[in-house]
Chains A and B, each alone.
Chain A
């Protein structure tokens, strides 16, 4: 294998090495510029967000103290030693938590139904009218961009306190989020069955029922389950603005320093979210078939 390198090859090699060095230098330069941009961003953002590291350093003890304090009962005992006293409100909190889950369920369901109806109008391959498609897309974008808690504030003003405005807020936000995802799924279908139904004289509704729906239904259900999980989390805090669920009790406990209540409610919430997380993941895997896609 030993081969003498001819002068021409050496020259070529030198050119290659130089090219390589240039390429590395170019990438370094881009990385450095990116880094400088990020550092500049940090400086500007820190000024805008009023970052005060001295305050953080000074009070960081408060944080650990606060977290530790959450596990101290009002009798002065450690919470773990007396779980019955710690979870004194188990019945009340359990009912509120069930309310919260029900809010997320109804909200997700209503949002999914509306999103389902609208997605066919905002899918470019099924909707021939471009302006209707554009209007639908803007509407879905609006529902998706405005956070559900903002909808909740507005609906509370219109409908009064209680879980109904919370459910409507979740439904509104879910319509936007799911409608977009559903439309993307519809845009990726195989169009041959649709043409088949159309060629036998099927109406637009029949095309959707017999050609589109069989292709998209599992993905739709999977996305709806994913959204349900997200909505359970957000339903937990809708009570902050008076829109029902466990949030209001949690807010009151935090504001009035009912320390052990806060930790008890948070633990119940976290466990519920984990269980829902796990259950929907299992359900989605069963639905989509393992290994196909998560």
Chain B
């Protein structure tokens, strides 16, 4: 039986025979397709070298940062001990549960207000920074650099800055989230606006609409679903960041979390983390539902 004949026989019914054929004729097939079976060193060497470089940097980094067997020998028992103390999660009293729920509500409030006002602020700036709305290179570059600067400062640093202005508490946290999200959202908005289809805008202009009307009726309907979806994603991620700004004193459940960790109340720590997991998955679920309701299942 020739190779051609056996190859033509391979169907889904007798696919298992492929193995038998290859075991019998494998050497001959490899010999005939020599070039395809062999990867030249010229092709392999750069890949190998970059792999080596990447791994070398990893090993150097681990040694430089102080990874050592001693550290893990002493640290891992500590970690398992701590995890052992975390089980079972236990808030102690009902009063504490209520207190944590209150703080969790505060966290959600911070995330909601932060996302909402960051969106309202970023919306006009997104249009300002889009090349197809304001065709000025200076405005474009300046506004993009402004977003990058605001975005480059972490939420926690913003929280520290706002604590200096309005004092300790959740309000500082809200302002911090507004600031750091403003940069990120404005950048995303302007990119979404730049990606719109020109035809609708030209249509409005050609039927006698003004520039403002072309933005309102040509662009806005195209970008609103994208923007809505991004804002919902940010709300989800902000419920996570709102949990940590409490660590520097800017409100929310992070304050309790860091307090309980520093006083080594591990039962309470695991209870708070459990509450967080639950809340975030509920928010995830709700915002997915909302996203589907607003913009259809395709974009979810």
Contact = CB atoms under 8 A, between A and B. Distances in A.
B156 interface: yes
A200 B169 contact: no
Interface string A181-197: 00000000000000000
B139 interface: no
Interface string B120-162: 0000000000000000000000000000110011101100111
Interface stretch (A10-18, A20-28, A80-88, A161-169): A161-169
B116 A158 contact: no
Interface stretch (B27-35, B103-111, B203-211, B214-222): B103-111
A199 B264 contact: no
Given A200-B19, A201-B19, A159 B170 contact: no
B160 A145 contact: no
B296 interface: no
A181 to B, nearest CB: 14
A155 B276 CA distance: 19
Given A146-B276, A153-B258, A241-B247, A158 B82 contact: yes
Contact of B154 (A47, A167, A236): A236
B148 A49 contact: no
B16 A199 contact: yes
Nearest to B78: A158
A74 B79 CA distance: 44
Given A154-B82, A273-B152, A147 B108 contact: no
A77 B164 CA distance: 22
A205 B175 CA distance: 50
Interface string B1-28: 0000000000000011011001000000
A237 B154 contact: yes
Given A56-B166, A66-B165, A240 B247 contact: yes
Interface residues of B, number: 65
B171 A45 contact: no
A158 B75 contact: yes
B148 A147 contact: no
A44 B116 CA distance: 13
Nearest to B111: A45
Interface in B277-297: 277, 280-281
B113 interface: yes
Nearest to B152: A270
Nearest to B154: A237
Contacts of A48: 105-106, 108-110, 170
A146 B273 CA distance: 7
Contacts of A237: 154, 156-157
Nearest to B21: A200
Given A46-B113, A55-B171, A149 B164 contact: no
A65 to B, nearest CB: 9
Interface string B66-97: 11000100011011001000000000000000
A164 B19 contact: no
B18 A141 contact: no
A219 interface: no
Which of B76, B109, B276 counts the most chain A CB atoms within 10 A?
Answer: B109
Nearest to A274: B148
A59 B280 contact: no
Interface of B: 15-16, 18-19, 22, 54, 57-58, 61-62, 64-67, 71, 75-76, 78-79, 82, 105-106, 108-110, 112-113, 116, 148-149, 152-154, 156-157, 160-162, 164-167, 169-171, 173-175, 240-241, 243-244, 247-248, 251, 257-258, 261, 264, 269, 273, 276-277, 280-281
List 3 tightest A-B contacts by C-beta distance, closest first. A48-B109, A270-B152, A45-B109
